[in-house]
Every structure is written in structure tokens, then in C-alpha cells.
Amino acid sequence: MSDQTWPARLSPQASKTYVELPSHAQQMTIDLLDIASRTPWGWPQWDPTDPEGEDVRCASIGQLSLVYLVNRLAGRLHVINIVWLG
């Protein structure tokens, strides 16, 4: 296992959603990204029926879900969307 952490970048839509979250949900987002950056493939695949989409993952804790792409070439995570059910 590697000690590499994958930095995360937010899409424009994810950035907009992030700033609209309550402060405790923003902290949860940071914590969830921290976990995902250490184990990007440790979360379920977004669409398990898509064999070519193994790098699109969904990290969820409670009411918060992050959909992200593992960008292997750039060595980072690209957060596509943030979903807050709160």
C-alpha cells in the first residue's frame, strides 16, 4: 500500500454546492475528502455495471455524498458533485 495522498479539486458545480453548505457539512466534506484522498478506490464504484468507469467513485457518510473521478494521470481526485441531504 502506498503512502500517497491524492489532492482533490472541485468542479465548478461542486464548489458552488460546497459554499452553500452549513459549516458542519463543510467540515464533513473536508473530512470525507481526506479519507478519499488516502484510499480513492476504497469507496464503491458509481456505476458497477460500467467496466470502464472504475475510476468514478461515490464516497458517502450519513447525509453527505461526494462523486469523484480518480485522475490517475494528474495524480488527483476531481470532485464532480456534492450531495447534501440535510
pLDDT tens digit sequence for 31-57:
999 999 999 999 999 888 988 889 999
Per mean pLDDT, which range of 1-5, 60-64, 76-80 is the poorest? 1-5
User: How close are the terminal C-alpha atoms of the chain, in Å?
Assistant: 35
Give the position of cell 478519499.
36
Q: Are 59 and 43 in contact (CB under 8 A)?
A: yes
Q: Is residue 51 helix, strand or coil?
A: coil
pLDDT tops 70 at residue 2? no
* Nearest partner of 56 among 5, 4, 11, judged by Cα: 11
Q: pLDDT tens-digit profile of 4-38?
A: 889 999 999 999 999 999 999 999 999 999 999 99
Looking at residue 3, its pLDDT comes to 66
Number of residues written out for the chain? 86
List, in order of start, the domains of the chain with CATH numbers: 8-84 (3.30.2310.20)
